[in-house]
């Protein structure tokens, strides 16, 4: 019997110790702890609760927990707390009110307390003041809003994409730059196949950005057109170095790139032009000096020893002076014509012309020159072959081509002019039975940088500038010029010009 009494005393002492420990634990908690009866009337609060709310314990005991609820809460939500807690538990955010009337946010978790029979005897609530957290969240929200507004209003495209080639975020500027209807439209595409003309551009851009932080490359808009972009991008990796996303800021620099490319072209063209002109003037200086030497030489002989020459010799000298003067004049005219072409001084005035008449006129102009080499000039062009061209330019083209054919045709050869209709164009040809042209020279006939002085079959001189002028004039009239030849088998020069639609 004594033993049982001792056990009871020991059990009571242990229980009291536990209660004291529990009390100290609850009082030491930083969270606010309340215990209410099943009708939500306060039967216990810890020190943290009283310190937070500013009440004395006597002011709280027996009061309904609603005394610390702010009227700014959703009242329907407040009414659901008690029944939901009785069913097991409730947790969420509320606005509570201190004794001085100050409202503040809390996060509370409430649950039931049961006895040994499982009967609910009280309710426990543990709440945390989340004022600082709410301030931080609001600051973060405002920052996010400001960031979003900045991103949405930026004129540059901003994007995030996966390594597999899918956009996960784009701003309106990105949509506009690439010509898509909206974000969803752009984000639905496969970047690798629909945005790049060449997949290597994407790999090259990513590699460039790793080292230089900037890449310039072409992209394909929705309508298939090309734009040039400047991409400042970077990779987002996980802790193991695996790429999660590719992010960047993209700018349309099409205009700038086109200007740069044009400037590069201008620089190359200028270099070629200067080199060409240097070479051209070198040839011209040589070819001008030769006829002038001839003119000066024969005229000096006539001047110094006029009486010692017979009339036939004098006439021969005068003829040679005349030939040299004519060659010099032709060269100067070609040079002046070419110079005016470079300055854009020629204006094309196309009109209806009968090719048959133009060709006949040019043949007659060169008949004497051809007769000297016993060369036959034949026109197989039919009367009424109408073309829409600048008459003076086409006359110059034909004169140069026929003259060139005479120069490189051996005595007693044949030169034939012909034409045929090719859709909306007329193809004109000048064929000779001359010495022909090597394949290497054929490729460079109409290139200014490759012109050279070549002697004809009777040692006629020339610079090749006439062919350059022919090319310019033909192209100004909307046509194309080319040549076909084999060394030793003659040559045919072709060019096309617009046909006059109305015949007769």
137 within domain boundaries: no
- 3-state helix, strand and coil shares in percent for the chain, rounded to the nearest 5: 50, 25, 25
pLDDT digit string, tens, across residues 78-88: 999 999 999 88
**pLDDT at residue number 248:** 87
Show the beta-strand stretches assigned E in 338-407: 351-354, 376-379, 386-389
Sheet holding 491-498: strands in order across? 376-379, 414-422, 425-432, 491-498, 481-485
Is 3 within the bounds of a domain?
A: no
126 and 164 within one domain: no
pLDDT of residue 388: 93
The residue segments making up the domain with residue 210 are 149-252
The verdict on residue 78 lying in a domain is yes
Q: In terms of pLDDT, which residue wins out, 7 or 65? A: 65
Q: Is 80 exceeded by the pLDDT of residue 94?
A: yes
Give the DSSP letter string of 209-240: HHHHS-EEEEEE-TTS-EEEEEEEEEEEE-TT
> Which of 437, 433, 446 minimizes the C-alpha distance to 482?
446
pLDDT exceeds cutoff 70 at 101: yes
pLDDT tens, residue by residue, 410-458: 898 999 999 999 889 999 999 999 888 887 777 777 776 555 556 555 5
- Flag whether pLDDT at 503 surpasses 50: no
Question: What is the Cα–Cα distance from 291 to 287, expressed in whole angstroms?
Answer: 7
Single residue among 219, 252, 285 that ends a domain in this structure: 252
In a domain, 12, yes or no: no
pLDDT of amino acid 456: 55
Q: What is the pLDDT of residue 111?
A: 93
* CB contact at 8 A, 468 and 284: no
Instruction: With respect to residue 179, please indicate whether it lies within any of the assigned structural domains.
Output: yes
Residue 2 domain-assigned (yes or no) = no
Of 295, 313, 342, which marks where a domain is finished?
342
Is 248 in the same domain as 266? no
Which CATH number does the domain housing residue 278 bear? 1.10.287.130
pLDDT tens digits for range 68-78? 999 999 999 99
Q: What does the pLDDT average to over 196-209?
A: 66
Express each pLDDT in 37-54 by its tens digit: 999 999 999 999 999 999
Q: What's the average model confidence in pLDDT over 113-141? A: 89
Instruction: Say yes or no: 232 and 308 in one domain.
Output: no
Instruction: Evaluate whether residue 372 is within a structural domain.
Output: yes
Same domain, 438 and 361: yes
The closest alpha carbon to 171, from 150, 151, 192, 191, belongs to 151
pLDDT mean over 221-226? 92
The mean of the pLDDT values for the chain is: 83
Residue 211, domain member (yes or no): yes
Q: What is the pLDDT of residue 378?
A: 92
């Amino acid at each position: 019997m004594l033993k049982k009494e001792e056990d009871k005393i020991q059990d009571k002492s242990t229980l009291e110790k536990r209660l004291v420990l529990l009390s100290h634990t609850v009082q030491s908690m930083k969270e606010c702890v309340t215990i209410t009866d099943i009708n939500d009337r306060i039967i216990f609060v810890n020190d943290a609760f009283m310190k937070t709310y500013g009440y004395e314990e006597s002011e709280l005991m027996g009061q309904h927990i609603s005394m610390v609820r702010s009227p700014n809460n959703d009242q329907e939500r407040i009414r659901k707390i008690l029944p939901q807690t009785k069913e097991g538990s409730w947790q969420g955010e509320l606005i509570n009110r201190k004794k001085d009337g100050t409202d503040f946010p809390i996060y509370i978790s409430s649950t039931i307390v049961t006895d040994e029979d499982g009967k609910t005897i009280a309710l426990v609530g543990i709440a945390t003041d989340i004022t600082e957290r709410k301030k931080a969240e609001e600051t973060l929200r405002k920052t996010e809003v400001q960031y979003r507004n900045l991103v949405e209003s930026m004129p540059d495209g901003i994007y995030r994409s996966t390594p597999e080639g899918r956009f996960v975020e784009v701003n309106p500027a990105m949509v506009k730059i690439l010509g898509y209807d909206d974000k969803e439209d752009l984000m639905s595409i496969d970047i690798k196949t629909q945005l790049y003309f060449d997949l290597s551009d994407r790999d090259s851009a990513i590699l460039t950005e790793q080292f230089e932080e900037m890449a310039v490359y072409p992209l394909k808009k929705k309508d298939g057109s090309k734009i040039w972009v400047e991409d400042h991008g970077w990779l987002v990796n996980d802790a193991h170095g695996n790429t999660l996303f590719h992010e960047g800021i993209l700018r349309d620099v099409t205009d700038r790139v086109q200007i740069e490319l044009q400037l590069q072209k201008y620089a190359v063209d200028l270099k070629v032009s200067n080199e060409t002109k240097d070479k051209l003037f070198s040839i011209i200086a040589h070819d001008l000096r030769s006829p002038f030497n001839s003119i000066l030489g024969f005229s000096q002989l006539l001047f110094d020893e006029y009486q010692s020459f017979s009339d036939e010799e004098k006439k021969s000298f005068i003829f040679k002076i005349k030939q040299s003067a004519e060659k010099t004049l032709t060269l100067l005219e070609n040079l002046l014509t070419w110079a005016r072409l470079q300055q854009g001084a020629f204006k094309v005035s196309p009109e209806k012309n009968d090719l048959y008449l133009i060709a006949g006129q040019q043949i007659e102009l060169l008949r004497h020159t051809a007769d000297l080499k016993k060369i036959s000039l034949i026109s197989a062009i039919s009367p009424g072959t109408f073309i829409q061209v600048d008459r003076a330019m086409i006359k110059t083209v034909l004169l140069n081509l026929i003259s060139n054919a005479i120069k490189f045709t051996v005595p007693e050869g044949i030169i034939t002019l012909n034409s045929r209709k090719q859709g909306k164009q007329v193809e004109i040809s000048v064929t000779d039975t001359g010495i022909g042209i090597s394949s290497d020279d054929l490729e460079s006939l109409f290139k200014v940088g490759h012109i050279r002085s070549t002697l004809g079959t009777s040692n006629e001189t020339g610079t090749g500038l006439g062919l350059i002028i022919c090319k310019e004039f033909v192209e100004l009239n909307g046509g194309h010029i080319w040549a076909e030849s084999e060394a030793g088998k003659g040559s045919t020069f072709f060019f096309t010009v617009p046909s006059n639609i109305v015949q007769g």
